[in-house]
Amino acid sequence: MKERLRKSVAVFLTVVTASLFVFSNVTNLYAADTVALKFNVTYGQTEARTMLSMVNKLRTGDEAWYWDKDDSTKIKAEGLGKLVYDYDLEVAAMQRAAEIAVYYNHMRPSGENCFTAYAWSGCCAENIAYGYNSAEAVFEAWKEDNEPYMGQGHRRNMLNSNIKAIAIGHAYYNGQHYWVQEFRGNVVSDVETVANDSETKCSVDAKADIASEFEKSMSKSTKKPVEITTDKTTEDTNSKPEKYVVKLKKTTINVKKGKTYTLKYSITKGYTGKVKFISSNKKIAKVSAKGKVRGIKKGKCKITVRLNNGKKAVAKITVK
């Protein structure tokens, strides 16, 4: 439990409470001696966006509660509205996901506070984690159902009544998954953008000492320990998980409304992990746990086939 609390940290900042005073006293150490680190991460934004429905279900359902400081009184978070996915905020969430791969902290690698990554109004919050292989797994960890008040910081962030916007960033780097939730009190853009599920070159400003440590880790290609979600550690059982890849026979598929199509794919021989199928828009096309795609209504979406090690293949679906 202590291990999880140490690695998965939550903070909340608001202009109307003492929290702002606390953070206003945190000195930004950003200086001219920063180094621009260039490296590639693989983003998984299609899956990251699926967490929106999970958070909104938590906010509007019977589980919308958290412990009071006495750890015996449940405070019900009543009347919460659904959060809006903010595609402007997602840019910052993706940047922060790359940054915590360099320096796992709410302080940015440059020495700046995490909330300098984007503009905000009223309030803002951030949840971070690494080591979870799926959006569902990290969300369950952030729910903190069985934690006392002091361990429910992530939960309270997701249930905060002052928050209006959310965005999630998911980056895969050096054998590890990094997750970020960003929240703010104002919505800047609810206009949907194309989800980035590709390998992308990132630029992260870092203080010289942090950059040096990161560059050492790059040369060693070490893998950080997997995040603990229960009393057991969950990790890929394959000896060299990075070598396994998945390929689709067809990446452009037409499906008639009400009809189905079973995805045909191949995986590097020897893979024993799970295969996950994700639809970018379930209102257009759904996909089963075995890769059967069903057309729901006319439109276009993407189906992602993903392995435990983060490797994936994407099919463009058109429902006619």
Q: Are 170 and 48 in contact (CB under 8 A)?
A: yes
3.40.50.300, 3.30.9.10, 2.130.10.10, 2.60.40.1080: CATH of 241-319: 2.60.40.1080
pLDDT tens sequence across 217-258: 776 554 444 442 222 222 222 333 446 788 999 999 999 999
pTM of the model: 0.65
Q: Which residues of 195-231 are buried (b: 16+ CB within 10 A; e: fewer)?
A: bbbeeeebebbbbeebbeebeeeeeeeeeeebbbbee
Question: Is residue 189 a contact partner of residue 86, using CB atoms and an 8 Å limit?
Answer: yes
Boundaries of every domain in the chain = 2-220, 241-319
Mean pLDDT of the chain: 82
169-202 tens-digit pLDDT? 999 999 899 999 999 999 999 999 999 999 999 9
State the CATH architecture for 2-220: 3-Layer(aba) Sandwich (3.40)
Report which of 159, 171, 160 is spatially closest to residue 130, judged by C-alpha positions: 171
